[in-house]
Amino acid sequence: MRITRDFLIRIAKETVQKRNLSTPDLVAAYLTGSLLREDPFLAGATDIDLVLVHPGQPEVRREIEALTPEIHIDICHHSRAEFTRPRELRMNPWLGPEMYNPMWLYESQHFLEFVQAGVRDKFDEPFNVIARSRHNASHARQIWSDLQLSDANGPELMLTYLKAVNHAANAVAVLNGGPLAERRFLLEFPGRAESAGVPELIDQLFILLGAPQAEAPLLAALVSEWETAFVDAADRPKIETRIHPARLNYYKLAFEALLSSESPQAILWPLLHTWTLCAAVLPATRQAKWLAACVQLELAGEPFEERLAGLDTFLDTIEELLENMAAAHGL
């Protein structure tokens, strides 16, 4: 069967219809993510990013439904209360861009009209653009500060570090669009950094993720070890939702395609992040391969202090950029 974007959109609509029968008070449903692209596929795999808005607090925040080995539905659940102040959402670096132009599948009670009117009004004015970026930059800086005194180690430490890197990179990204897509994180960042006038951050971001040590043969070996950890962790309780059996090929096929491309190091973000999420739920005896990878990429031990210093410099550049932007617009 030939799976196309139109076919996946139809699946999304059918899913909403079924959910609306079982949850008749559904407020709204919309698509975001890869299906908003003309070509949502990366190495033949993609997901359906479906958001359901409920009148009250949903029991689950996120769930995964497998369709084929390469395709799954990623359902995110929100409460209507999260959208009650739409004018504030235009300064939110995550929900703001998401609500600006999603693909609407269902709404009731004029939800779309109410929320989008507030979000789109002055969305692209410098004050709001800078506010979205500052939100991420401030969060990244706070995490960096906390890391200076942290006694965490192992996966906990690395997840905290990666969270800071994520917010820092997205502080740049949201100056020219929405947050970076997970699998395309390092593919999309260079264009966003160029557009923001900080091309020097491109190499710096790759260094923060161990790129200088990541030749293609090493990366290929790491993908094999990553797969073993992913399969092991995916069936364990209390694992982060993105580590789900239905998402194995979603990542693996992308990794394999990128390894044979001109940008093999672009796998570093999704590889490191998902592998660390796996390591966090595996016993210490099963973390050795993950730790060895961190050592090889100079993201553990003494070199980790250099990565923290590099993150400090990365954030300094962003903070200076935002100060200059604010001054230029009289803010």
Q: Tokens at residue 86, please? A: 């739409």
pLDDT at 22: 85
Question: Which stretches of the chain drop beneath a pLDDT of 70?
Answer: 1
CA distances 190 to 40, 95, 175, 274, Å, are 20, 23, 13, 22
Is 90 within 8 Å of 119 (Cβ atoms)?
yes
pLDDT at 89: 95
Task: Specify the pLDDT at position 235.
Answer: 87
- Helix orientation angle between 288-296 and 216-234, rounded to the nearest 10 degrees: 150
Strand ranges of the sheet holding 71-79, from the earlier edge strand across to the other edge: 62-66, 71-79, 46-54, 28-32, 103-107
pLDDT at 203: 98
- CA–CA dist 38, 50 (Å, integer): 17
Q: What pLDDT is recorded for position 282?
A: 94
Q: Are 8 and 38 in contact (CB under 8 A)?
A: no
pLDDT on residue 234: 94
pLDDT reported for residue 113: 85
CATH architecture of 5-120: 2-Layer Sandwich (3.30)
What is the structure's pLDDT at 1? 64
Q: Where are the domains of the chain?
A: 5-120, 126-318
